[in-house]
Amino acid sequence: MWLDYEANDLLENMKIIKRMILSLICLLLLLIGATLIYMQQQKFGKAPNREYLDLIKKSPNYKDGKFQNRHFTPMITEGYSFLSVTYDFIVTKFPRTKPTAAIPSIKTDLKNLARTENVLIWFGHSSYFLQLNGKRFLIDPIFSGNASPVPNSTKAFPGTDVYAAADFPEIDYLLITHDHYDHLDYETILQLAPKIRHVVCGLGVGAHFRHWKFDSTKIVEKDWDEKVVIDDQMTLHTATARHFSGRGFTRNNTLWLSFILQTPSFKIYLGGDSGYDTHFKELGQKFGGFDLAILENGQYNEAWHEIHMLPEEVLTAAQELNAKRLFPVHSGKFALAFHPWDEPLIRLSKHNRDKYQLPLVTPIIGEIVYLDKPNQVFKEWWKDVEF
């Protein structure tokens, strides 16, 4: 008799386990379905269609169905795992990743800047306005207050969102280094659209702009080692970087870039996101050095330093570019990594004092950087922010 009871208990337990498994499968399918529906929103952009994909496939940097870095570039550094990194993002609490007080800023009147002034104005992270030889450039703008497609998930630090699309004059050239959400911000782009005369971006990135109803004649898509002639006194060159791309689940279907803006008397390197590699030395030799190098310095980690430089590597890259001044960006607005929010500037400044003594450009948000004044001095503003 007791065998019958045991058999019945076993059968009942199996039914319970089966129901639990079915419930988990249903929940998983529901989550997948909800995610796919959510990702139909305009903000996720659009993959290149067949016509443009045929052009992309002709690129020497497109192989095996995706764009490739010049050298092997793992997303996760050897000795680390995707699982451990994911666990840290979701579970582990790291100290001081966000400031507790507002980041300082200045509200410069961009519309009333004389076109004759050669200036740069930083808006936090990797967004900045550049005016040179009468032309206005805007690089990787993000003014929506969030560096993620999920609302309120990666919010801007207090004090960093003092600029909006309404504050800008007409932009001659919008430069997009790659299509990650912290560099290509849908809400910002839509608001700026009426003011943008030309867009210059990597191969495939133009598909997002066409999906967002931009005039195709305004979009210039480039491969590495190409150029856009602005006028007889200015050329915009495209160059490699060591990074990756993608919005949604597809990676590397669009190309990431760095830029060089060159006039007869001035050269600026606009680095975009990049891990350290040989291209810095190669570009330094090719262009004979730079008056200013703008390099990412933030959102790094030893676990992914092949795609984001550590502060010490940033200084090595600047030296190899033969840069007269270094402007470190990609920090000061969002917490996209595990390090303290001010660590990128602290580490870079200390290493620079100890080894390089390279003039650093470290403006507060909105402060005017005068490109014609190489001796302009900047505060170490991060030291004054309470924590």
How far is it, in rounded angstroms, from Cα 261 to Cα 76?
32
Q: How far apart are CA 185 and CA 180, in angstroms?
A: 8
Q: What pLDDT, on a 0 to 100 scale, did the predictor assign at position 322?
A: 98
Two tokens, residue 245: 């791309």
Quickly state the pLDDT bin for 289 (edges 50, 70, 90): very high
Using CA of residue 248, residue 141, residue 204, residue 296, what is the dihedral sign?
Answer: negative
Instruction: Give mean pLDDT, residues 170-183.
Output: 98
Residue 20's pLDDT is 72
Amino acid at 377: V
Q: How far is 241 from 224, CA to CA, in rounded Å? A: 9
Question: Which string of DSSP letters, residue by residue, matches 347-382?
Answer: HHHHHIIIII-PPB--PPBTPEEETT-TT-----GG
Assess whether pLDDT exceeds 70 at residue 39: no
Q: What does the pLDDT read at residue 16?
A: 72
Question: Which pTM does this prediction carry?
Answer: 0.92
Q: DSSP secondary-structure letter at 337?
A: S
Give the distance from CA 61 to its chain's centroid: 20
- Give the pLDDT band (50/70/90) at residue 147: very high
Contact call for residues 172 and 198 (beta carbons, < 8 A):
yes
Q: What is the pLDDT of residue 250?
A: 87
N-term to C-term CA, the chain: 71
pLDDT band (50, 70, 90) for residue 323: very high
Angstrom distance (rounded) from CA 170 to CA 189: 13
Tokens coding 268: 């600026």
Length of the chain, please? Answer: 387
What pLDDT, on the 0 to 100 scale, is given for residue 8? 63
Q: For residue 6, is pLDDT > 60?
A: no
* 163 CB burial (10 A radius; 0-12, 13-18, 19+): buried
Given a contact cutoff of 8 angstroms between Cβ atoms, the answer to whether 27 and 213 are in contact is no
* DSSP structure string for 87-141: HHHHT---TTSS-SSPPPB----GGGS-TT--EEEE-SBT-EEEEETTEEEEES-
Residue 24 has pLDDT above 90, yes or no: no
